[in-house]
Amino acid sequence: MDFLQTPENQLFLGVAVAIVAIGIGALYLYSSKKPKGCLDPENFREFKLVKRHQLSHNVAKFTFELPTPTSVLGLPIGQHISCRGKDSQSEEVIKPYTPTTLDSDVGYFELVIKMYPQGRMSHHFREMRVGDYLAVKGPKGRFKYQIGEVRAFGMLAGGSGITPMFQVARAILENPKDRTKVHLIYANVTYEDILLKDELNGLAAKYPDQFKVYYVLNQPPDVWDGGVGFVTKEMIETHCPAPAHDIKILRCGPPPMNKAMAGHLDALGYSPEMQFQF
Ligand SMILES: Cc1cc2nc3c(=O)[nH]c(=O)nc-3n(C[C@H](O)[C@H](O)[C@H](O)COP(=O)(O)OP(=O)(O)OC[C@H]3O[C@@H](n4cnc5c(N)ncnc54)[C@H](O)[C@@H]3O)c2cc1C
As a whole number, mean pLDDT of residues 203-207 equals 98
Q: Tens digits of per-residue pLDDT, 174-189?
A: 999 999 999 999 999 9
As a whole number, mean pLDDT of residues 37-55 equals 97
Q: Tens digits of per-residue pLDDT, 103-144?
A: 999 999 999 999 999 999 999 999 999 999 999 999 999 999
Instruction: Break the chain into its structural domains and give their ranges.
Output: 45-140, 152-277
Of residues 4 and 142, which shows the higher confidence score? 142
Q: Tens digits of per-residue pLDDT, 59-100?
A: 999 999 999 999 999 999 999 999 999 999 999 999 999 999
**Residue 172: alpha-carbon gap to chain centroid:** 10
Of 268, 238, 252, give the one whose Cα is nearest residue 97.
Answer: 252
CATH topology of domain 152-277: Rossmann fold (3.40.50)
Compute the distance between CA of residue 243 and CA of residue 110 in angstroms, rounded to an integer. Answer: 34
Query: What is the reported pLDDT for 31?
Result: 47
Q: Tens digits of per-residue pLDDT, 91-105?
A: 999 999 999 999 999
Give phi and psi for 156, each to the nearest 5.
-115, 105
Local confidence band at 36 (pLDDT 50, 70, 90 cut-offs): confident
Q: Where are the beta strands (DSSP E) in the chain?
A: 45-56, 59-65, 80-86, 92-97, 108-114, 133-140, 152-158, 181-190, 211-219, 227-228, 247-252, 275-277
Whether pLDDT at 50 is above 80: yes
The single residue of 38, 83, 240, 252 carrying the catalytic annotation is: 252
Out of 95, 136, 162, 257, give the residue to mutate to test ligand 1, the one with the largest number of ligand atoms within 8 Å of its CB: 95
Residue 38 and residue 136 in contact, taking contact as beta carbons nearer than 8 Å: no
As a whole number, mean pLDDT of residues 27-37 equals 59
**Matching CATH number, 45-140, of 2.60.40.10, 3.40.50.10880, 3.60.15.10, 2.40.30.10:** 2.40.30.10
Whether pLDDT at 256 is above 60: yes
Sign, CA torsion 192/194/196/201: negative
**Residue 177: alpha-carbon gap to chain centroid:** 18
Q: What is the pTM of this model?
A: 0.86
The protein residue with its alpha carbon nearest to ligand 1, atom 9, reads 113
Whether pLDDT at 29 is above 50: no
Query: For strand 152-158 and strand 181-190, is the pairing parallel, antiparallel, or unpaired?
Result: parallel
Compute the distance between CA of residue 108 and CA of residue 72 in angstroms, rounded to an integer. Answer: 7
Compute the distance between CA of residue 215 and CA of residue 219 in angstroms, rounded to an integer. Answer: 12
| Residue 30 annotated as catalytic | no
CA of 83 to the centre of ligand 1 (A): 12
Query: For strand 211-219 and strand 227-228, is the pairing parallel, antiparallel, or unpaired?
Result: parallel
Whether pLDDT at 17 is above 80: no
**Residue 81: alpha-carbon gap to chain centroid:** 11
DSSP, collapsed to helix, strand or coil, labels residue 82 as strand
Mean pLDDT rounded to a whole number for the chain: 92
List Cβ neighbours of 76 (8 Å cut-off, separation of 6 or more).
139, 144, 145
Position 102, amino acid: L
As a whole number, mean pLDDT of residues 155-173 equals 97
Of 139, 115, 137, 140, give the one whose Cα is nearest residue 127.
Answer: 115
